[in-house]
Amino acid sequence: MRFEVVTIFPELIETAAACGLIGKAIERGTLKLRARSPREFTHDNHRSVDDAPYGGGSGMVMLLEPLIATIEALDADAAKAGLPRATRIVLSPHGARFDQAAAGRLAAQAAVMLICGRYEGIDARVSCFADEELSLGDFVLNGGEVAALAVIEAVGRLVPGVLGNQHSLAVESHACGLLEHPQYTRPREFRGHCVPDALLSGNHGEIAAFRRREALRLTHERRPDLLQNADLSDEDRRFLAGLP
């Protein structure tokens, strides 16, 4: 899978993405990453990528022309290499909420382009040249780079061959509509806090049942909204009905 990032800080993206499992996947060629800056496509001495907004107001707005030039240059590079055009995604507070379902949908695509804003935002006409807009949530960042890295991590880890154990994807938070059950490792006791006995029983059926109950309990306590769409058995519903 290929990631392309439009950003005035390509070094931020490249450095962060080089770490951990995503970085190893890039080294192996399982994932590919390229970041390009709109400053490459400016024509003034200051390499300006922003200007004052029409109608007045605080802050500066990213210029449309350098952004589109960057997008089209990445598309041209892909076409020259015989690769499909990336799906263009603007990272914006106006976008749809990015979640695990969106990550799974994007992981099935050949290439994703993430367009990062800065300053007060991007000229709104950029959406006319994009396929969709996504938002990490109801908060504001200084720029889209952190959001782009989050999308790369969430999507990239779903690509076959990126994780060492693909089975872990099936049991982690949000994979089955619930939060993941709590995890424990050594020591068995620390300052009065003990690993639950069920996990030490060696009985795989008992362990699986305990983990399912704990996932239900944790989701009920912290993200009850997830239960509305979760795939629940009759036993799950009886357990939830008995929780305070």
User: Could you give the dihedral angle defined by the CA atoms of residues 217, 223, 227 and 233, in that order, rounded to the nearest 10 degrees?
Assistant: -20
Which pLDDT belongs to residue 168? 65
Q: Categorise residue 132: left if φ over 0, alpha if ψ from -120 to 50, beta otherwise.
A: beta
The CA distance from 86 to 109, in Å, is 8
User: Sign of dihedral through CA atoms 185, 188, 194, 196?
Assistant: positive
Q: Which two tokens stand for residue 72?
A: 């089209």
Alpha-carbon Rg for the chain, nearest whole angstrom, is 22
Which pLDDT belongs to residue 164? 78
Task: Tell me the whole-structure pTM to 2 decimals.
Answer: 0.91
- Phi first, then psi: give them for residue 96, nearest 5 degrees: -65, 155
Domains of the chain: 2-156 (3.40.1280.10), 171-241 (1.10.1270.20)
Average predicted confidence (pLDDT) for the chain:
95
Using pLDDT thresholds of 50, 70 and 90, give the confidence band for residue 171.
low
- Which among 17, 142, 144, 154 has a CA at the least distance from the CA of 99? 154
Q: Convert the pLDDT of each residue in 20-48 to its tens digit.
A: 999 999 999 999 999 999 999 999 999 99
Mean pLDDT of 110-137: 97
Which pLDDT belongs to residue 175? 72
Strand partners, 50: 62
Using pLDDT thresholds of 50, 70 and 90, give the confidence band for residue 170.
low
Task: Count the neighbouring beta carbons within 10 Å of the beta carbon of residue 119.
Answer: 16
